[in-house]
Amino acid sequence: MKALSAELAQRREASLYRTPRVLESAQGPTVRISGKTYLSFCSNDYLGLANHPKVIEALKEGTSRYGVGSGAAHLVTGHSTPHHALEEELAEFTGRQRALLFSTGYMANIGTISALVGRGDTVFEDRVNHASLLDGALLSQARLQRFPHKDIDALERHLATHHDKRKLVVTDGVFSMDGDIAPLPDLATLSRHYGAWLMVDDAHGLGVVGNHGAGSLSRHGLNSDDAPILVGTLGKAFGTFGAFVAGDEALIETLIQKARTYIYTTAIPPAIAHATRASLRLVKEEHWRRRHLEKLVKRFRDGARQLGTTLLESATPIQPLIIGEAADALSLSESLKEKGILITAIRPPTVAKGSARLRITFSANHKSGDIDRLLETLQPLL
């Protein structure tokens, strides 16, 4: 495999090589790596539920009642009481008729897009949409038309000139690497005007923004008529694992019949669904988690401004510090690590060339003092 080794060497040369770290502790504001403790600002556990005692307790209860593996796909014998109950609760939470569980967000996206469109149709996607949304469009064999980030006028020009059978407009609710929120009211209006369906992947919005954490659509008072297809993931703010699609009866029944990543895969462990029910209750009831996050974000943004750094326009717990070159982002990340702070450098192709960054994220389990330590440590390094 010489050709591969050469390619790998090239990647390393360009500071684009990636390696997983081995965490020796649970996910949280502090994590242990190689016996050393770090203050961490790079998980998606926004509400701090991944290691919450009530969620852990529910997982234990779930395994004692339902065992570990689901043993089959949903349509065979893998669909059990906690899956069913969670689907009903997620439908209620998102204000939609139905919800359908998928094993991961990646699978929900590729399965949904390719179930809804195909050859002769067009998918319109924001240029910085999550990789799974782009892959879904590619796999569907529909035409993929990307538009510049949040550029409504460009989208309108494309919508006006494509006369395909079906049109599907797809966007992240909260953009995963930038933290900004999609122009959802405009996207909904345009989609309706041009007879397109709007699909919103709210992996980073659900639980975090909107009323009771109901997500970026609810923040704008938009519903199922405005965006008929809503995708949520359970491995981020919910702190567990899995994903779902929420929408009306016809959408969900179509996905059950046609989404290959729903049909041909093992259902998530029922105990995970049981634990997610416990985490959903915390998401809905513990408003202090969202309020505390807002305070942390404000403290960070105020402090960063005083340091003279430019931040992106983001009101969410995703607060990227744009560095530019991959090598510079990597070396800043390493300097922070030496001082006990963990923030991964996000580099191309995850983000555009020249926009490598430290993707700083906050969790409801961070304390104000953690933000101060981050700012103090960053100051001499910027």
Ligand X SMILES: *Cc1c(COP(=O)(O)O)cnc(C)c1O
Tokens representing 243 are 């994903």
Q: Which is nearer to ligand X, 172 or 180 (CB)?
A: 172
Q: Decide: 362 and 319 in contact? Cβ < 8 Å.
A: yes
Residue nearest to ligand X (CB): 105
Beta strand spans in 219-348 (E): 229-233, 243-247, 318-324, 341-342, 345-346
Rounded distance, CA 315 to CA 298, Å?
Answer: 8
Q: Decide: 207 and 178 in contact? Cβ < 8 Å.
A: no
> x/- string (CB under 6 A) for ligand X, residues 189-218?
------------x-xx--------------
Rounded distance, CA 325 to CA 119, Å?
Answer: 38
Q: Which is nearer to ligand X, 132 or 371 (CB)?
A: 132
Shortest Å distance, C-beta 110 to ligand X: 10
Q: Tell which residue, 359, 345, 284, 344, has the closest CA to residue 314.
A: 359
Q: Which of 41, 46, 93, 106 binds ligand X (CB under 6 A)?
A: 106
Shortest Å distance, C-beta 375 to ligand X: 26
Shortest Å distance, C-beta 106 to ligand X: 4
Count the site residues for ligand X by CB under 6 A: 14
Which of the ranges 6-14, 74-82, 98-106, 342-350 carries the binding residues for ligand X, by CB under 6 A?
98-106
130 binds ligand X (CB under 6 A): yes
Rounded distance, CA 29 to CA 109, Å?
Answer: 29
326 binds ligand X (CB under 6 A): no
Check 52, 150, 167, 236 and give the catalytic one: 236
Tell me if residue 2 is catalytic: no
Tell me if residue 368 is catalytic: no
Binding residues for ligand X restricted to 219-248, rule: CB under 6 A: 233, 235, 243
Q: Which is nearer to ligand X, 130 or 290 (CB)?
A: 130
> x/- string (CB under 6 A) for ligand X, residues 29-68?
----------------------------------------
Q: Tell which residue, 48, 62, 47, has the closest CA to residue 277.
A: 62
Rounded distance, CA 113 to CA 122, Å?
Answer: 11
Q: What share of the chain is helix, strand, coil (3-state, %, to 5)?
A: 45, 20, 40
| Residue in the structure block whose two tokens are 């906050």 | 362
Instruction: Rounding to the nearest 10 degrees, give the CA dihedral for residues 373, 375, 377, 380.
Output: -150
Shortest Å distance, C-beta 203 to ligand X: 3
Give 297's contacts (C-beta < 8 A, 6+ positions apart).
315, 316, 317, 319, 362
Check 103, 132, 176, 216 and give the catalytic one: 176
Binding residues for ligand X restricted to 342-381, rule: CB under 6 A: none
105 binds ligand X (CB under 6 A): yes
Shortest Å distance, C-beta 87 to ligand X: 16
The CB density around residue 53, as the number of other CB atoms within 10 Å, is 8
Q: Is 248 exposed, middle or buried (0-12, 13-18, 19+ CB in 10 A)?
A: middle
Q: Which is nearer to ligand X, 176 or 218 (CB)?
A: 176
Rounded distance, CA 321 to CA 303, Å?
Answer: 13
Check 52, 204, 220, 274 and give the catalytic one: 204
Tokens representing 232 are 């949520």
Q: Decide: 271 and 121 in contact? Cβ < 8 Å.
A: no
Which of the ranges 52-60, 67-75, 99-107, 143-151 carries the binding residues for ligand X, by CB under 6 A?
99-107
111 binds ligand X (CB under 6 A): no
Tell me if residue 339 is catalytic: no
Q: Which is nearer to ligand X, 204 or 366 (CB)?
A: 204
Q: Tell me the catalytic residues.
A: 176, 204, 236
Q: Which residues bind ligand X (CB under 6 A)?
A: 104-106, 109, 130, 132, 172, 176, 201, 203-204, 233, 235, 243
